[in-house]
Amino acid sequence: MDLDYTPGEQNFRQQVAEWIAAHAPSAEDRRDLDALRAWQRRLHAAGFLGAGWPSEHGAARLSPMQQAILNEELARANAPGPINAMAIWWVGPAIIRYGTPAQQQRFLPPILAADEIWATGYSEPGSGSDMAAAKCRAVRDGDSYIVNGQKVWTTLAHISDWFFILVRTSTEGPKWAGLSLLLIDMRSPGVEVKPIRQITGDSEFNEVFLHDVRVPAANLLGTEGQGWEIVTSALVNERTGIAGSVRFDQGFARILGSARQRGCASDPIWRQRLADLAIKARVTKAFGWRAMSDQLHGRINPHMSAAMKLFTTELSQRFSETGVDLLGTYGELWEGSAQTPDHGRWAYQFLYDRSMTIAGGTSEVQRNIVAQRVLGLPRK
């Protein structure tokens, strides 16, 4: 793979960087839902969203390399991604691939326009990352399904309009064979959302309870029993690419600056720890290049996604642990104080990163995938 950017790609990068600088929301607006919807609409109007979607569904006309450059520049500017990212990465591609023409016409345009926000319901109490063990039950009743059960760790459910949910429609055969995928209106009677207060004080994740929720049979995506295929194909789209390495480079620059300021940069132990982070940040960049090369050459390597997820989320924790350790007692001070080193950002990051090795599939699950499907180790 040629790692040099063409003159056209370099021009595109400059144009994107200038556009982001002119249009990105302010720091104060990044917790405001209306402001984040407006930001996604600006991204859409500029032709930056849905690059992997067919053009007839309003997608951006970007090459894979242009999409990678866009993601890099968003990360470099610390600009937020689209508020409806899960729908753009997972829900939309699944509806494009498995949905009926009526479902595509109804659901796809509001996704890119941020008119309807989506949550994805996979994890359940007692099954966690083992999606095939889902027990949330959907029973056919005429032209509807009656859904009962619970989902947990559901990101953004408290602000979502629709639910992309894995349900059990049969108990026959292997556990994965009886799963189906429903599209549920979050305003349906019987849907109850309870935010989970995290250690950071935020409530990004939620419990979702479903009590005799009636869902039109027309909202079944694909066929009964096809849910496992739909979900696993959708999750392949969640990759940590080149943009992830930009964030690690930025984090390392912050840590290195603090180490020099506090006189630790010449200490042999700290130099070794910093060198370890620098090397692993470069490995992350190589991972991104590999994923980019696969995409450019039409290769699908779903198992590498597991390795990337495992490596990068654990590295995120190493970075925030190093930032807090470097500051000593100052590392306990909260973000927002101009008088604290690094404005107290590492304290928040340290707490937030605890969730990274759980969200999207635990590190234990990713290790099993790598062991069995990449290394070919036997399953006990």
pLDDT tens-digit profile of 267-285? Answer: 999 999 999 999 999 999 8
How many angstroms separate the CA atoms of 92 and 87, rounded?
6
Same domain, 129 and 72: no
pLDDT score recorded for residue 240: 46
Q: Is residue 108 part of a domain?
A: no
The CATH number of residue 13's host domain is 1.10.540.10
Same domain, 249 and 366: yes
57, 138, 272 from 25: Cα distances, Å: 26, 41, 38
Q: Chain-centre distance of CA 239, in angstroms?
A: 8
Burial of 194 (0-12, 13-18, 19+ CB in 10 A): middle
- Average confidence score pLDDT of the chain: 90
Q: Chain-centre distance of CA 73, in angstroms?
A: 18
The string of pLDDT tens digits covering residues 220-274 is: 999 999 999 999 877 655 544 567 788 999 999 999 999 999 999 999 999 999 9
- Whether 125 has a pLDDT exceeding 60, the answer reads yes
Same domain, 305 and 268: yes
Record the tokens describing residue 40, joined without a space.
């996604």
The string of pLDDT tens digits covering residues 283-294 is: 998 888 888 787
Record the tokens describing residue 131, joined without a space.
């999606």
The CATH number of residue 303's host domain is 1.20.140.10
Q: Is residue 110 part of a domain?
A: no
pLDDT score recorded for residue 235: 65
What phi and psi values does residue 240 have, to the nearest 5 degrees? -95, 110
Instruction: Write out the residue range of the structural domain in which residue 23 sits.
Output: 7-83
Same domain, 268 and 369: yes
Residues annotated as catalytic (active site), given as ranges: 238
